[in-house]
Amino acid sequence: MKVTDIHSHFIPREWENLQNKFGGDNWPWMAHKTAAGENLNSHTSSAMLMRGSQEFRPVYSACWDPQIRLDEMDRDGVDKQIISATPILFAYDRPVAQASYCAQLFNDAALEICAKNNKRLFALAQVPLQDIDASCIEVSRAKACGHVGVQIGNHVGEKNMDDKGILTFLQHCASEDIPVFVHPWDMMAADRTKDYMMGWTVGMPAETQLSIVSMILGGGFDHVSEKLKICFAHGGGSFAFLLGRLENAWIHKDIARGHSQHPPSHYLNRFYLDTAVFDHDALALLVKKMGPDRLMFGTDYPFPLGEQQMGQLIKSASELDQQTKQKLLSGNAEQFFNL
């Protein structure tokens, strides 16, 4: 079976000192640590992704070394992989000029990684989403340079996916046939989820569900062209499981309908979800609710909370037939991203 992973991340090995360039603090940077005799391109090399003076996340060479990435893809039988920036690189809270600079910097770095084998590695761009005009300019530039789509965070400050500016950007992507991958970031309730990695295990799925619901109830899908290709990460969070609750509220309470013209279930054919759910029952629910044509294989590689044996969840799903498995593993992604 062909296998295409649509949800994987990269971090360049190094980049210019953004704090020196722009001033301010809390800029991301890499603190590399290697044992004696190691080099930064070895399997054993590692680094700490920093935010200013604070440690953010330990990472290893697969984030920046395409050969290690390709070797591990071969190990698990992954034919193609789409890489996207780690959300800490978004810079949505910076001045537009700085965020635009960062977008170009990291977009170009992604293509450099993919150049190792551009028949197997593909890149999603990032944009300065706090400014819609700048975002449209950068995403068009990125497509012309070879990116196969764009990754955006699921909100900009207090602006959800139904924000008029974000919807304008999505319409631009629809008009230029640029697929959109929505990834949660800057998670809600940070103080209450700071322990036990709950920001990742609770906050991220909650953010994803919120982004889908805001698109539906905010009238986003009613206003944006049906040509829009949009996919939400992490299996849509708890969206599929709680769809009945959302539908029930829409039917019985006017206020719960928001600006949407139809019940929530009407919009299931307007978006895709990845399959990074790590559980056969959850995967079966996604297939039942969304249908086999609206799901794409994603791993969250190369991070510890990603699928450690890439593709095994779908391959070992006894309730799925071979045709469905192939759609999920690669067929849908090849069509969605025009690979």
Which domain, by its residues, includes 282?
A: 4-10+65-336
Q: Over 60: is that where the pLDDT of 154 sits? A: yes
List CB contacts of 89: < 8 A, sequence separation 6 or more: 11, 28, 102, 106, 126
Question: Which pLDDT score, from 0 to 100, does residue 35 have?
Answer: 54
Q: Which amino acid is at 287?
A: V
For position 321, what pLDDT does the model report? 97
- Identify whether the C-beta of residue 63 lies closer than 8 Å to the C-beta of residue 302: yes
37 domain residue, yes or no: no
The values of phi and psi at residue 276, to 5°, are: -80, 70
Domain membership of residue 22 (yes or no) is no
Integer Cα distance of 311 and 301 in angstroms: 11
Stretch 328-333: mean pLDDT, rounded? 98
**Closest listed residue to residue 293, CA positions, set 262, 328, 263:** 328
| Segment 6-13 mean pLDDT | 97
Q: How far apart are CA 124 and CA 111, in angstroms?
A: 9
Residue 38 confidence (pLDDT) above 70: no
User: 142: domain CATH number?
Assistant: 3.20.20.140
Distance CA 10, CA 113 (A): 9
Give the mean pLDDT of the chain: 95
pLDDT value at residue 36: 47
Supply angle C-alpha 275, 279, 283, rounded to 5: 45
Q: What pLDDT does 33 receive? A: 75
DSSP-derived letter for residue 115 is: T
> Which residue's structure tokens are 């697969």?
62
Residue 21 lies in a domain: no
181, with CB counted inside 10 A (0-12, 13-18, 19+), is buried
Taking the C-alpha atoms of residue 219 and residue 202, their distance in angstroms, rounded to an integer, is 26
Say what the pLDDT of residue 178 is. Answer: 98
Residue 107's pLDDT is 98
- Tell whether 31 is covered by a domain: no
For residue 28, being part of any structural domain is answered with: no
* Eight-state DSSP code of residue 87: G
Task: Grade residue 37 by pLDDT with cuts at 50, 70 and 90.
Answer: very low
Largest CA distance in the chain: 67
Q: pTM score, two decimals?
A: 0.95
* 31: nearest Cα among 8, 9, 13, 10: 13
- In 3D space, the residue among 215, 186, 228 whose CA is nearest the CA of residue 87 turns out to be 186
Q: Examine the pLDDT at 122 and tell me if it is beyond 80.
A: yes
Euclidean distance between CA atoms 101 and 119, whole angstroms: 28
Q: Is residue 36, in this structure, part of any structural domain at all?
A: no
Closest CA to 186 of 164, 156, 213: 156
- Residue 41: its pLDDT value, please? 46
| Structure-block tokens of residue 73 | 């893809």
User: Which tens digits make up the pLDDT trace of 253-300?
Assistant: 999 999 999 999 999 999 999 999 999 999 999 999 999 999 999 999
pLDDT above 80 (res 83): yes
Element (H, E) at 327: none
Domain count, the chain: 1
Determine the Cα–Cα distance for residues 100 and 207; give it in Å rounded to an integer. 24
Q: Give a yes or no: residue 52 inside a domain.
A: no
**Residue range 129-142: average pLDDT?**
98
Residue 45 lies in a domain: no
DSSP code string of 136-184: HHHHHHHHHHT--EEEEES-BTTB-TT-HHHHHHHHHHHHTT--EEEE-
